[in-house]
Amino acid sequence: MNILDRYAPIWLTAGIVLWFEGMVTIEWSYPYCISPEDGPAYAALGMPLPYWMWNGVVSLEHDFLPHVYILNVVLLCLLFFPIIRWVWDRVIAGRSPLLRSLIGAVGCILVIGHVALTVLAVSAGYYRPTTSLGLEGYNSYREFRPVRVGLYRSSAADCTPSPFWFPNGWQHN
């Protein structure tokens, strides 16, 4: 039994999760979005937790939290793996080892492809690793609240104000 056949459900789960998380995201708002007095406010994105947002300095530079990104992937893998394993056991497990290895290879290619693109984004400066998305004096990471789920946006979009989460808006300290 080779590594692709033996760990195919794991490779498949990781590959599907990486691409799903990369394509579908949650937009996160914060109090400053309601009344951006000192300049524009930008949307934070990530699923299930926010891990990147345009920093407003350079047009193709985004603040990126690698530790939160890895946590997101782990959480989504823990959520998706039982489902994929259940489908695997009922549909694919009894099939030929060649088919199982082929599906494992597809999962492995999905993982390697997404990791390569993420490394490229970091090395090219598109993602700028940092420890927090919060801007001192304007917002902190714990203030982010989800406002909508949608497809990944690469543009530097303004964040969506949320009177539901922040009825009093941003209060300058």
Give pLDDT, residue 55.
79
Model pLDDT, residue 101: 87
More confident call, 42 vs 50: 50
Length of the chain: 173
**Alpha-carbon span 62 to 147, nearest angstrom:** 20
pTM of the model: 0.86
- The more confident residue out of 152 and 7 is 7
Position 173 scores a pLDDT of: 52
- Mean pLDDT on 110-139: 88
CB 163 within 8 A of CB 37: no
